[in-house]
Structure 1
Amino acid sequence: MTDTSEKLDYSKTLYLPETEFPMRAGLPQKEPETVARWQKMGLYKKLRASAAGREKFVLHDGPPYANGNIHIGHALNKILKDVITRSFQMRGYDSNYVPGWDCHGLPIEWKIEEAYRARGKNKDEVPVNEFRQECRDFAAGWIKIQSEEFKRLGIEGDFDNPYTTMAFHSEARIAGELLKIAKTGQLYRGSKPIMWSVVERTALAEAEVEYADIESDTIWVKFPVQEGPESLKDASVVIWTTTPWTIPGNRAIAYSARYPYGLFEVESAENDFGPQPGEKLIFATRLADECAAKAKVTLKLLREVTAEELGAITCAHPLAALGYSFKVPLLSGDHVTDDAGTGFVHTAPGHGADDFEAWMNNVRALEARGISPKIPFTVDDAGFYTADAPGFGPDREGGAGRVMDDNGKKGNANDLIIKALIEAKNLFARGRLKHSYPHSWRSKKPIIFRNTPQWFVYMDKDLADGTTLRSRALSAIDNTRFVPAAGQNRLRAMIENRPDWVLSRQRAWGVPIAVFADEQGEVLVDEAVNARIIEAFEAEGADAWFAEGAKDRFLGKDHDHAKWTQVRDILDVWFDSGCTHTFTLEDRPDMKWPADVYLEGSDQHRGWFHSSLLESCATRGRAPYNAVVTHGFTMDEKGEKQSKSKGNVVAPQDVMKESGADILRLWVATTDYWEDQRLGKAIIQTNIDSYRKLRNTIRWMLGTLAHDKGEDIAFADMPELERLMLHRLSELDQTVREGYDAFDFKRIARALIDFSNIELSAFYFDIRKDALYCDAPSSLRRRASLSVIRKLFDCLVTWLAPVLPFTTEEAWLSRDPSAVSVHLEQFPLVPGEWRDEALAEKWKKIRTVRKVVTGALEVERRDKRIGSSLEAAPVVHVGDADLLAAIEGEDLAEICITSAVTIVADSGPADAFRLDDVASVSVEPVLAEGVKCARSWRITADVGTDAAFPDVSARDAAALRELGYAS
């Protein structure tokens, strides 16, 4: 036998990791290539084919709006949906994802109008269907752009066949759903105060409104008592309002029987136009002094005024001399408070929801008092006063006053009203107030509340089965799973308190309210007419409604065309999106109804969750979903709202360009998305660091598995350490599956990241590197470890695939270049025999001892007494019987990665190293004795015992012989 030691490069005799999977990910460059590969290979179709026949799991996509590049909210939303659909697909379901887009409505119409104005073009001079085609083309362009941006995020779905609300079939279905509602008598034309955008000339839904601070004129107004208790007839009731322009619409004054009121006399006054000494005024007692200060007067309380007395009062309108000669009654109202104002609420039923309800709740009482319950239309769609506002409307010299101009700026209405009140000697005081006020979220301009004829759906009408739309919706909420659970109460509160659903919008781009109505607002219900409408919409889209001759075409010869008016209003876009379940879930054979889950931002409790619930309950009696998952909004790192003006916007395009989509996806998976989240450079860097550690773990496994022969070692034959890792996989399998079921992705991500970093890289791999690199090919320890690492790789990579689709695809193909895609795989089935709680408890104790040893060695390294832990042979004192029993028979040197360990069953000397939380274990650091093995670097006494290999240990010499290096 020849001494070959001088000829050998021992590094070439080791099973060192070998892989082309790079440490540097290069995600910004690789990810687009992967997207292109998926598209070329038809991954979506392969996913559908592989899942054929499985139980369907359907997440129905809430449609984003097709009018701009995606932002971070879109990215969060779509990534969450993709994680869900991928995770169910990889757990035995046919989990199809069909993306969709909301295409109708004001934002797109507004963009086209802006372009018209820039070119000096008048929208009203353009044929309506020509204008609608421009809107359609605009939406189609953005759908194409957003599709590519979503795919770049790694979103997998049927982007070749998405649903859009502007598809002809979709428009036909939306119109058909409305006709169903009309047929059951739930649709009616009514008059109510609604939120109105003067700038955009349309009604707005609550979901289209945001709030911002403005400074308003505020006035205190005297209403002279006309009828009532004799002692009060020379007094005036004083109201307070921040909307002086609504005074022409005043028809009543509200008070509350819960608060004390008083009759006051003005003792002194220091003002130019306000109340003078001797005048008598009625206020809520608590607010009298505050009001007096506003008018620069002093008041004296004459006596209390009871609620019964207030209820008997009728006032004159403060502008009676201008033609407002009707009576103004006092009405009891629950909405009245005594924390601001006068304790009396100016009630203009055409300009506010509370005012309207207070007025309508008293209709019979008003009629009994000889007061007409008719609600005036005092402001038109452009913000001008109408003939119902005498003295300020078209009869005014100089033209009608205006509440707001086309740019959302204050008109002259407030000034006209205040001037008239001063002239009538009925202005008590005036001022300015900064307060929160509703604005259109599109134009960013203030809105008004105005009474207009609109189309509504009843919330409380009996639907001939003992239910109402409200009761159906509330019952459906009770039968729906909400994640987080608080969403249920939020949606319930909205449904409990919401008024009738306003469907109509006064615009051009959208699905029309495709009904005919007579002068009384009765809707024509004729199956033949409805069939012609739906058939035309299927063939031509909703443009058919606006085509020349449409009325004659649809009514046919069976109806008096003079009697029926073709409604030209457009449906609220929330009705459109509320109908998506019909033409997506019901009409596509690759989907199912109801959906398993809807997932959107928490604002959709008043948006898509809400409208979908109402539409489905109105037509089908239940919700179109079984579960509702909500996410919060993305703030900057300080918790502030992201905005361009602040310069704190994080664009997903920038993150992908600089770091990659998988970094963004990892952030989504690790954040508490149920609440508002934060994102910025530091948070992105944190996720980059976490990603690198995960990637390095995967890379090391790939490198090690390059030497794997595919041998499976029987579980019972494995060393304890390998069985411990399989036990942990069993536990993690439960955590992962339960986490995906609960949509709790942060729990999964945290568990896998910690497992990768703490239990694999810093424990199992660290311990087994010596055996994997140095042991002989026949070593059971090495073979068992390879078998376990293969299982670890399969589990980790597939479990992470829904979260990190690009990285896991790269890793999977690196392991097996002949594979098609990791996303066609299923989560591995974990045998029940892997679970071993007793073994886990034992190794928990072993790791407790190890923790103290590694702590002691870290001090030695820090103080440069050793360089590597293999230079140590510590003496370990164990005073705890349970810990001592756990380590008995174990190779603690291998576990602690030292060259030797001496175990002593006592508490150890006073100066030994200890950890505060493990007082029963102490360590004396001792240098290892022997010679350093040139191959494994362990310091042992048996180096050189094999003459053929004089500079290696006996274990390494045996391995070299088995590898054929001895001759």
Structure 2
Amino acid sequence: MSSDSPSDTVPDYRDTVFLPETAFPMRAGLPQREPDWLARWERIGVYDRLRAQKGRVPFVLHDGPPYANGHLHIGHALNKVLKDMVVRSQQMMGRDARYVPGWDCHGLPIEWKIEEQYRAKGLNKDDVDIVDFRQECRRFAEGWIDVQREEFKRLGVTGAWDRPYLTMDYHAEAVIAGEFMKFVMNGSLYQGSKPVMWSPVEKTALAEAEVEYHDHTSHQVWVRFRVIAADAVFTKTPTDVVIWTTTPWTIPQNRAVAFGPEISYGLYEVIGRPEESSATIGHRVVLADKLAEAVLAQGKLLGPDMVRRLCDVSSADLQAMVLAHPFRGVEGGAGEWDYDVPMLPGDHVTDDAGTGFVHTAPSHGDDDYILGQKFGLPMTYNVEADGSYRPDLPLFGGQHIILPDGKEGPANVSVIKQLAYSGALFAKAKLKHSYPHSWRSKAPVIYRNTPQWFVAIDKPLDDGMTTYGDTIRTRALNSINQLVTWTPATGRNRLHSMIEARPDWVLSRQRAWGVPLTAFIKKGAKPTDPDFLLRNSEVNARIIAAFEAESADVWFVQGFKERVLDGIVNPSDYVKVDDVLDVWFDSGSTHAFVLRDREDGSADGIADLYLEGTDQHRGWFHSSMLQACGTKGRAPYRGVLTHGFTLDEKGMKMSKSLGNTTSPQEVIGEYGADILRLWVAQSDYTVDLRIGKEILKGVADSYRRLRNTMRYMLGALKGFTEAERVEPADMPELERWVLHRLAELDGEVREGYAKYDFQGVFQKLFTFCTTDLSAIYFDIRKDTLYCDAPTSLRRRACRTVLDILFHRLTTWLAPVLVFTMEEVWLERFPGDDSSVHLLDFPETPKAWLDTALARKWDALRDARRVVTGALELQRTAKVIGSSLEAAPEVFVTPTLAAVLGSVDFAELCITSGLNLREGQAPEGAFALADVPDVAVLFHPAHGAKCERCWRVLPDVGTHKHPGTCQRCSDALG
């Protein structure tokens, strides 16, 4: 008789075994089936039904608006899935978790696209009416919003998709203008002329967040500044102070040379020179001692026979010096540079690189500007908006630093040639280094002095909101330290250091597509005059009302100035400002028109969480903090979560040119959105995340294992009714141990979701499913489920626990696997209005916790590992085919014997018999090093094989039903 089939004389009992039965497919088919669930959720109104639940404490995740320009990339998917997992988990923990998606609609990238379309048609943007141009930008943004909305929804992201917020909505534009005018009214807005990051290609100022750094090869020059007045030791022989710069084009704007008061300087004399050197024997140079050797090497003067050090040069010596500009008296210079160049002490000067001296052009650098303000240096206006020198600048007029196509213009080389011609070029070279570029045009940027509008972040504000300080900077720093929870905690330090060191906020952009700076300037007034800006609340109210009704476009309509000023002030006395606001002010103001103004916002106008990538410490987190501290007196958020960037499998930045990108659309098309969501949950989002084909295969394998766990439960629960339910106190120990694990997990899952630790939550649940359930509980209880009588306590208890497991696992995993858990839920509880996403996590009684029982079962599991290890050897050797063919002899200590003897240890080990022995195991017994108290000798089971349950027992064949054991015969009735 075969071991797998009944004999001719014994009935076939296969139909009497209670095998799992379910229509739930093993193959998920997610790419094809997920859209149906999306449509279903929309049809039954899941999001709005959740909002209708009363008495819940709100939780508001405020969406940082993506830019309405182009298809989503994998970084977008990571961000939106994280947000969705936060919202769903908070909702299922009892909150009213609201999510209003939004879009950033104004700004340079969209304007740039429309300009590109114009250029392709041979048209000039400046020839088009500005209102018509803005309406084209609006239509472009609307089109991409519709595309991105569908792509975001396809990720399974829940939210108010039918009523998102847009920064170009009329109300939003009105609020942004109103928030800006608060800065006008509180006196923190001012017009200043100072260097800002400037894109010559796009002809506008850029915020730090609009700048990215790429490798760039720059010219570097070492330049002589002749000492023309100083102590006699520095003037009786020609002496030069040597500077180093990687921006030769700024030399025509030089107004001073800075030195470090704590740096050691020396006077070096040229005593010999090779032919290739431009030095003159007998001339002297002043250098930082630490850098002298490297500088002299650049000038081809390295060696004891080339240069000698004469003496120290003190700070007092340096400060007494007056220098000549390198182009002083140059032919064709028209006296442009015939001014004295002072030597000034500067704390920013170091001897880490360069010469120990810093060429200072106050119009073209932050440190230079600060030093210039301190010592009253004049500003220059030599560089035009397109990156060219002013046309009338001697020698260099009209030459470009950066050409309109983003390439280097002739200005650098022209200046270097003129330095050589003037005898001021000590050395030159090329340097590859990290250099700022515009994030849109990808072209290099420059620092350029232009009149811009700034918010003073250190000016005391008399606005009655002084709880956290009276300046924007103080309020921001106090908010960071006192009001905000940071995930990860390092985010606090990053934003704190940025706010602590940042200059005043540049708000103005010289573009067309944005919310205008709604300000009027008094004709003939200076920026320092008290009446320079019109401050009038009635005018402000008229502007806001007009924007609400007609959009911000109305600002650019002929006659609008007269419309809002007539009857209040004389319109002819004022000039309308036509700059537009930095888009970071737009997004920084979203708390006002989303959190404050919407019914689904926040009662106090403050979000529970802002969640974006780490780059937003200098972007949205930063601008929102500054904006709210100026208008609300504090941060607009209570929590900030930051995630890393997405990389390929090798840790490389994704690039279309490298062909290593992974798009969310590709992943969804091949695997489904749930696999993408599971990748997010399995990853540590606090660092950069890797993704690629091999990684996704591993994620898909984890998914299959989880899916099989849920499928097994569905099959084993078929037909379960409340009449079967068993109270925990009446359950066998194994079931009570599972309930203990669930009670432990309940606390861990809730704590993990509360801390946004999705990786930790998923790892705990996955380990529980694969180890505690599949490898232990399901493995042991298969026999009970299949073969016990339906009325047996053990089987009823098992099915009760499976039902309890089902409700918890489907809800605990629902924030991550939104489609699959819905499929699992509907397989068991179908219904037109049914959805797992309408549920909360079930309450899990703490009374289920039983630490003593857990310790006992830890010992049982360890002992079981030794037995299964011994049986696996026999199976591998083909001695047995199944563990039910064994009846091992297990040697244990007396203490452990009492533990194992209190349960049916053979049942736990899935053997037909098992003999416990106290004492020393005989030679050759199987053991595991990490379980020293257990050893196993293999013995085959004695008896016949039950044709129903396959146990090998002595009583098989002696009961009512042929070929069965007592248990199976009783079950058959």
Show the counterpart of 2:342.
329
Alpha-carbon distance in structure 2 between the residues aligned to 1:460 and 1:883: 72
- The residue number in structure 2 matching 1:950 is 962
After TM superposition, list the pairs within 5 Å mapping 1:77-116 onto structure 2.
77-116=79-118
Q: Distance in 1 between matches of 2:255 and 2:393?
A: 12
Unaligned runs of 5+ in 1: 364-372, 394-399, 962-967
Shift of 1:122: 0.9
In the alignment, structure 1 residue 936 sits paired with structure 2 residue 940: no
Partner AA of 1:463 in structure 2: L
- Residue 775 of structure 1: which of 759, 763, 788 is its match? 788
Deviates more, 1:187-196 or 1:40-49: 40-49
Once the two structures are TM-superposed, the CA of residue 288 in structure 1 deviates from its matched residue by: 2.2
Q: Aligned-pair distance for 1:707?
A: 3.3
SS of the counterpart of 2:271?
A: strand
Question: For residue 392 of structure 1, what is the amino acid of its counterpart?
Answer: F
In 1, Cα distance between equivalents of 2:294 and 2:931: 68
TM alignment of 1:736-751, pairs within 5 A: 736-751=749-764
Distance (Å, rounded) in 1 between the aligned partners of 2:10 and 2:39: 50
Partner of 1:195: 197
Q: Distance in 1 between matches of 2:778 and 2:445?
A: 64
CA distance in 1 between partners of 2:568 and 2:454 (Å): 27
Of 571, 593, 598, the match for 1:588: 598
Give 1:358 shift. Answer: 1.8
CA contact (8 A) 1:273 1:427 kept: no
Query: Which residue of structure 2 lines up, in the alignment, with residue 454 of structure 1?
Result: 452
Is 1:356 equivalent to 2:369 in the alignment? Answer: yes
SS of the residue 1:341 aligns to: coil
Cα offsets for 1:908-944 (capped at 9, x unmatched): 1120000010121000111111110000011111112
Q: Does 1:877 align with 2:891?
A: yes
Q: How many Å separate the matches in 1 of 2:289 and 2:714?
A: 81
For residues 506 and 826 of structure 1, the distance between their equivalents in structure 2, rounded to whole angstroms, comes to 51
Question: Following the alignment from structure 1 to structure 2, what is the Cα–Cα distance between the partners of residues 92 and 388?
Answer: 70
In the TM superposition, what are the counterparts of 1:310-329 in structure 2 within 5 Å?
310-321=318-329, 322=333, 323=335, 324-329=337-342
SS at match of 1:223: strand
- Are the counterparts in 2 of residues 907 and 920 from structure 1 also a CA contact under 8 Å? no
Give the residue type in structure 1 aligned to 2:263: Y
1:605 aligns with 2:605: no
Contact 2:897 2:917 in 1 (8 A): no
2:106, 2:514 within 8 Å by CA — same for their partners in 1?
A: yes
- Measure, in 2, the Cα distance between the counterparts of 1:450 and 1:905: 87
Task: Give the superposition deviation at 1:416.
Answer: 2.1
Change (3 A) 1:32 1:170: same
Preserved CA contact (<8 Å) 1:248 1:389: no
For residues 4-19 of structure 1, the aligned pairs below 5 Å read 8-19=11-22
Checking the alignment, whether the CA contact within 8 Å between 2:514 and 2:581 is kept in structure 1 is yes
The 3-state SS of whatever aligns with 1:375 is coil
Contact 1:724 1:839 in 2 (8 A): yes
Question: Per-residue CA shift, 1:797-848, capped at 9, x if unaligned?
Answer: 0000000010000000001112610000110111121111111111111111
Helix, strand or coil: the match of 2:100?
Answer: coil
SS at match of 1:57: strand
In structure 1, the residue matched to 2:43 is 40
Match of 2:571 among 561, 570, 576: 561
CA apart distance, 1:420: 2.1
> Which residue in 2 is equivalent to 1:511?
515
Structure 1 position 419, deviation (Å): 2.4
Normalising by structure 2, report the TM-score.
0.95
Alignment partner of 1:520 is 2:518:
no
Distance (Å, rounded) in 2 between the aligned partners of 1:734 and 1:48: 26
Give the drift of 1:4.
14
Structure 2 gap ranges (5+): 1-5
Deviation at 1:289, TM superposition (A): 2.6
Alignment check: 8 A CA contact 2:83 2:611 kept? yes
Q: Kindly indicate whether the alpha-carbon contact (under 8 Å) linking 2:787 and 2:968 is maintained by their aligned counterparts in 1.
A: yes
Deviation at 1:296, TM superposition (A): 2.3
Q: Report how far residue 9 of structure 1 moved.
A: 3.5
Question: CA offset at residue 556 of structure 1?
Answer: 1.6
Q: Do the aligned partners of 1:944 and 1:954 also contact (CA within 8 Å) in 2?
A: no
Say if 1:289 and 1:299, in contact at 8 Å, map to a contact too.
Answer: no
Give the partner amino acid of 2:526: Q
Aligned to 1:813: 826
Following TM superposition, by how much is the alpha carbon of 1:422 offset from its aligned partner in structure 2, in angstroms?
Answer: 2.3
Identity of aligned residues (%): 56
User: Matched residues in 1 for 2:849 and 2:296: separation?
Assistant: 79
Equivalent residue for 1:672, pick from 684, 697, 722: 684
- The 2-side partners of 1:237 and 1:548 are apart by 56
Does 2:544 align with 1:537? no
SS at match of 1:107: helix
Q: Secondary structure at the match of 2:441?
A: coil
Query: What do the CA deviations read for 1:643-672 (whole angstroms, capped 9, x no partner)?
Result: 111111111111110001111111101110
Q: Residue 374 of structure 1: CA displacement?
A: 2.3
Q: Distance in 1 between matches of 2:577 and 2:765?
A: 58
Give the aligned partner of residue 250 of structure 2.
246
User: For the residues of structure 1 that align with 2:913 and 2:68, how far apart are their CA atoms?
Assistant: 68
**1:217 match: secondary structure:** strand
Deviation at 1:468, TM superposition (A): 1.1
1:31-70 correspondence runs (5 A): 31-49=34-52, 51-70=53-72
C-alpha displacement at 1:713, in angstroms? 0.9
C-alpha contact (below 8 Å) 2:870/2:938 kept by paired residues: yes
Give 3-state SS (helix, strand or coil) of 2:88's partner. helix
Q: State the partner residue of 2:817.
A: 804
Alignment-derived partner of residue 131 in structure 1 = 133
Q: CA deviation at 1:248?
A: 1.0
**2: distance between equivalents of 1:121 and 1:6?**
94
Residue 633 (structure 1) aligned to one of 645, 648, 656: 645
Task: Show the counterpart of 1:366.
Answer: none
Whether 1:341 and 2:354 are equivalent positions in the alignment is yes
Return 311-320 or 694-703, whichever deviates more: 311-320
For the 8 Å contact 2:372–2:378, the answer to whether it is kept is: no
Residue 210 of structure 2 aligns with an amino acid whose one-letter code is: E
Distance 1:264 1:221 in 2: 16
Tell me the equivalent position of 1:24: 27
The offset of 1:362, in angstroms, is 2.5
Label 1:260 to 1:836 Cα distance change in 2 as closer, same or farther (>3 A): same
Name the aligned partner's letter for residue 88 of structure 1.
Q
Aligned-partner residue type, residue 404 of structure 2:
D
User: For this pair of structures, how many residues does the alignment match?
Assistant: 941
Of the candidates 496, 499, 510, which is equivalent to residue 492 of structure 1?
496
Alignment of 1:127-526 (within 5 A): 127-233=129-235, 234-271=238-275, 274-297=278-301, 298-321=306-329, 322=333, 323=335, 324-363=337-376, 373-386=377-390, 389-393=393-397, 400-464=398-462, 465=466, 467-478=470-481, 479-518=483-522, 519-521=525-527, 522-526=532-536
Letter in 1 for 2:951: R
Please give the secondary structure, in 2, of the residue aligned with 1:218: strand
Displacement of 1:576: 0.4
CA distance in 1, matches of 2:705, 2:431: 56
Distance (Å, rounded) in 1 between the aligned partners of 2:232 and 2:568 = 64
Which residue number corresponds to residue 3 of structure 2? none
Within 2, Cα distance between the matches of 1:14 and 1:275? 100
Task: Report what 1:964 is aligned to.
Answer: none
| AA of the residue aligned to 1:872 | A
Give the match for residue 700 of structure 1. Answer: 712
SS in 2 for 1:434: strand
Secondary structure of residue in 1 paired with 2:716: helix
Taking the aligned partners of 2:695 and 2:426, their CA distance within structure 1 comes to 56
Secondary structure at the residue paired with 1:786? Answer: helix
Amino acid at match of 1:330: M
Match of 1:370 in 2: none
Contact 2:539 2:568 in 1 (8 A): no
Distance in 2, matches of 1:576 and 1:17, equals 57
Q: Secondary structure at the match of 2:98?
A: coil
Partner of 1:368: none
Tell me, yes or no, if structure 1 residue 866 matches structure 2 residue 866: no
- Match of 1:578? 588
- Structure 2 match to 1:614: 626
**Residue range with higher mean Cα deviation, 282-291 or 484-493:** 282-291
Q: Name the aligned partner's letter for residue 566 of structure 1.
A: K
Q: What letter corresponds to residue 179 of structure 1 in structure 2?
A: M
Contact 1:192-1:453 within 8 A present in 2 as well = yes
